[in-house]
Structure 1
Amino acid sequence: MHKKFKIPFALTILAVALVGCSSNKPKVEKIKPSPLPKLVQAKNLQQVFSQHISATNKKDPLRLQMAVDQGVIYFIDPKKGTVDAFQGNKQVWSSQIYKKGTLSAGLEVGQGVVVAGNQKGELFALEQSTGKVLWQAQLSGPIITPSHIQLGRVITVTNDGNVYAHDAATGQQLWTYKLPNVALSLRGQATPVQLDPNNVLIATANSYVYGIDVVSGVPRLQRRVSVAEGRTDIQRVNDIDGDPVMMGQFMVTTSYQGQVTVTDLQQQQVVWTDNASSNKRPEVTRDAIYITTTDGKVVAYGLLTGQKLWENDQLLHRNLSNPVLLGTDLVVGDFDGALSLIDPVTGKITGRSTTKGEVTSLRVVDNQLYVSTQKGALSVWQNR
């Protein structure tokens, strides 16, 4: 049995920097983040919702993203063990689901349930309208990324590489699928996403993506989408921690120390690939792909051509979040809570707003931007 070691992303960068040093006491030069560029007549966003929850460990940022459905916002407080629902600034309900330990993944909402998980592998499903706990299941390992709900199934990936499907209404375990082991990987996991109406897409630390039948648990697709090179195990770490994105028949993936890749699943062939290290979900339109790299670049590619449309290096080493499109603006967050607005056509930074703490998750739902930070600042923004 192979033991799988999870290492924090920041520690990986440090270890890579130390490779090849001959001194007994190597001095690691601290990389300074680029200062935010000065802006003239800058655009900004309007904040329409704000709440504060417990902060998470800065060395282990978790996917504590907010969920929204029919105008109701759902979020967890990781240390208090609560799930809250708000409509506007009015609290609809609050439910204490866990008193010991830390809720570590959430939330996903759909088909009448709200789903969260913790580091002990416990999965909770709450009634969406009331917050009442409907069922609870014990899984084999920590749950550090949100589940996915499809065809009445709750699909969850644990940190030890198991995929579970539970009946959304009853909690009955319907099937499991074991992903391949890897010896070393980042502390992270991509969220399961819908491949098509019948299958779910799972990205892994071994550079493969798997398409699994939601009803039966039978694998329908297996493709390697990235390759890393290096002399050491750390240099060859090649996780897919950013969620894959489907755009019609095209699957877009990014990987750490690997490539951004577009695969035509209908033709079963790679359309193009380009070397780029990213552990964040790409933003994809019918014409373009936008990624943030691990060293802080924001890059735009043509979806079908792979042509690099532009590259912005003004935010280097600022621990950028995933990029998202909000109306006519591309938005990225950073370690200091800055939300930079970028022209998606030219790559020029055009505006800025600020929240508190390192931005760990950005989502856009119904033309509103949902922001979560490591310090527990939750906020919703819209264009002015």
Structure 2
Amino acid sequence: MNRKYKITCALTVLTLAMAGCAGKTSKVPEVKPNPLPKLVQASSLVPVFSTSVAATDAADPLRLRLDVDNGVVFAVNPNGEVTAFNGKQKLWQSKVSKAGLSAGVEAGEGILVVGNQKGQLFALDQATGQQLWTAQLTGALLAPSSIQSGRVITVSNDGTVYAHEVATGKQAWTYNLPNVQFSLRGMAAPVVLDPRNVLIASSNAYIYVLDALSGTPKLQRRVAISDGRSDIQKLIDIDGDPVVAGQFVVTTSYQGQVTVLDLASQQVIWSEDASSTQRPEVAGNGVFVAQNDGKLAAFEITTGQPLWVNDQLLNRQLSNPVMLAGQLVVGDLDGVLHLIDPATGNIIGRSKTSGEVRTLRVIDNQLYVSTRKGALSIWQSR
């Protein structure tokens, strides 16, 4: 088997960084982030909860996200700890791994799972933090797992999909994604398609639907193409999680496209050029994409017609966009949370956290934020 080489350059001016990884030594011009635009009567968010954990390396795309189940919030620390909170009250704290942790919490079916860069997957009891089982995988774990139908579904960074039994940790099946010679360091998380099936995105711009119980493949479809000539220019990874919206699956890819696939026909209904390593957001009839150059773009979900483009945040290393209480929210390298009018693309407000925003989630109308500096926080709309 050919070894897969993971490119570990930082995402600051990603194309230039990739050229640096390829061995070029010529000095590249510094690209400065756009200054924050002035706002009049700006909206803002209200902080609900915050805690701090260890910072992470700027070049490593770790997704140490928060998760919540049955009203309990679970936070992962890259130093190897997991903590449970009920409101601001700490319920328990458990040291899980001396080798640290690199994949964010996934909670469900009475357990929570985290992983590390040595390929170790840990399952803890939600109520006590007691370690229930451990599994050794073949590659680093950089993306959260998925829990569904009594299975923990995990994709290691060597492209192997694993399913373990929730109750025992026994390996139920594996599925090997096609080997690629070069790819970005990172992986999209498994996405629940329905109670029986899981959606997997790969480094070769394909998506797969697998039976969560047996691992049997049910769908394989290419959703992006590259016209590059060199190995670096041909990189076309899907690192942002796909989004399932009714009959549609929406994907973004690096140096590729934003694409909408119709599950009923298993055909791509439209695809537009947009380089992004972030999960898109879908709300109403809109598909919202944060591109690697800092542009925000919106497309009509059934036709791909462009709705608007906002270029005020160029080179600000945007996070994934999310919808909160009718407003689009995206984070940046300075910890600024930008509020966007989804109808026009205009910036209508901002709030501030600490450190480069890595991951945004919305659960039960609250915004869950994690940053590279280790600030984990929950916000709500004012």
Tell me the TM-score normalized by structure 2. Answer: 0.97
Unaligned runs of 5+ in 1: none
Q: Give the partner amino acid of 1:338.
A: V
SS of 2:102's partner is strand
Q: CA RMSD in A?
A: 1.6
Determine the structure 2 residue equivalent to 1:378.
376
Q: Give the partner amino acid of 1:87.
A: N
Determine the structure 2 residue equivalent to 1:70.
70
Alignment of 1:252-271 (within 5 A): 252-271=250-269
* Cα deviations by residue, 1:208-245 (Å, 9 ceiling, x for unpaired): 01111011111111000000111211011000000001
Kindly indicate whether the alpha-carbon contact (under 8 Å) linking 1:75 and 1:83 is maintained by their aligned counterparts in 2: yes
Kindly indicate whether the alpha-carbon contact (under 8 Å) linking 2:135 and 2:169 is maintained by their aligned counterparts in 1: yes
Determine the structure 1 residue equivalent to 2:348.
350
SS of 1:14's partner is helix
Determine the structure 1 residue equivalent to 2:230.
232
* Cα deviations by residue, 1:338-368 (Å, 9 ceiling, x for unpaired): 0000000010000000001000000000100
**Alpha-carbon distance in structure 2 between the residues aligned to 1:299 and 1:312:** 6
Tell me the CA shift for residue 279 of structure 1.
Answer: 0.5
* Cα deviations by residue, 1:257-296 (Å, 9 ceiling, x for unpaired): 0000001110121111101101100001241100100000
Determine the structure 2 residue equivalent to 1:284.
282
Aligned residue pairs total 380
Q: Give the partner amino acid of 2:34.
A: S
**Alpha-carbon distance in structure 2 between the residues aligned to 1:366 and 1:59:** 32
Q: Give the partner amino acid of 1:85.
A: A
Determine the structure 2 residue equivalent to 1:38.
38
Kindly indicate whether the alpha-carbon contact (under 8 Å) linking 2:61 and 2:142 is maintained by their aligned counterparts in 1: no
Check 1:306–1:25 CA distance in 2 against 1; reply closer, same or farther (3 A cut).
closer
Determine the structure 2 residue equivalent to 1:97.
96
* Cα deviations by residue, 1:69-126 (Å, 9 ceiling, x for unpaired): 12211011111x1110001110011111112x22110210000000000111111000
2:87 paired with 1:88: yes
Tell me the CA shift for residue 202 of structure 1.
Answer: 0.5
* Cα deviations by residue, 1:158-201 (Å, 9 ceiling, x for unpaired): 11111110000111111111111101111110000012221100
Alignment of 1:155-304 (within 5 A): 155-304=153-302
Q: Once structures 1 and 2 are overlaid, which stretch shifts more, 343-352 or 64-73?
A: 64-73
**Alpha-carbon distance in structure 2 between the residues aligned to 1:158 and 1:47:** 34
Determine the structure 1 residue equivalent to 2:10.
10
* Cα deviations by residue, 1:1-32 (Å, 9 ceiling, x for unpaired): 211111125375225557999xx963311111
Determine the structure 2 residue equivalent to 1:329.
327
**Alpha-carbon distance in structure 1 between the residues aligned to 2:18 and 2:124:** 42
Kindly indicate whether the alpha-carbon contact (under 8 Å) linking 1:15 and 1:234 is maintained by their aligned counterparts in 2: no
* Cα deviations by residue, 1:35-63 (Å, 9 ceiling, x for unpaired): 01011111111101010000011111301
Q: Give the partner amino acid of 1:63.
A: R
Kindly indicate whether the alpha-carbon contact (under 8 Å) linking 1:247 and 1:286 is maintained by their aligned counterparts in 2: no
Kindly indicate whether the alpha-carbon contact (under 8 Å) linking 2:10 and 2:58 is maintained by their aligned counterparts in 1: no
SS of 2:377's partner is strand
**Alpha-carbon distance in structure 2 between the residues aligned to 1:19 and 1:76:** 30
**Alpha-carbon distance in structure 1 between the residues aligned to 2:21 and 2:229:** 9
SS of 1:102's partner is coil
Tell me the TM-score normalized by structure 1. Answer: 0.96
**Alpha-carbon distance in structure 1 between the residues aligned to 2:20 and 2:164:** 44
SS of 1:103's partner is coil
**Alpha-carbon distance in structure 2 between the residues aligned to 1:346 and 1:249:** 26
Unaligned runs of 5+ in 2: none
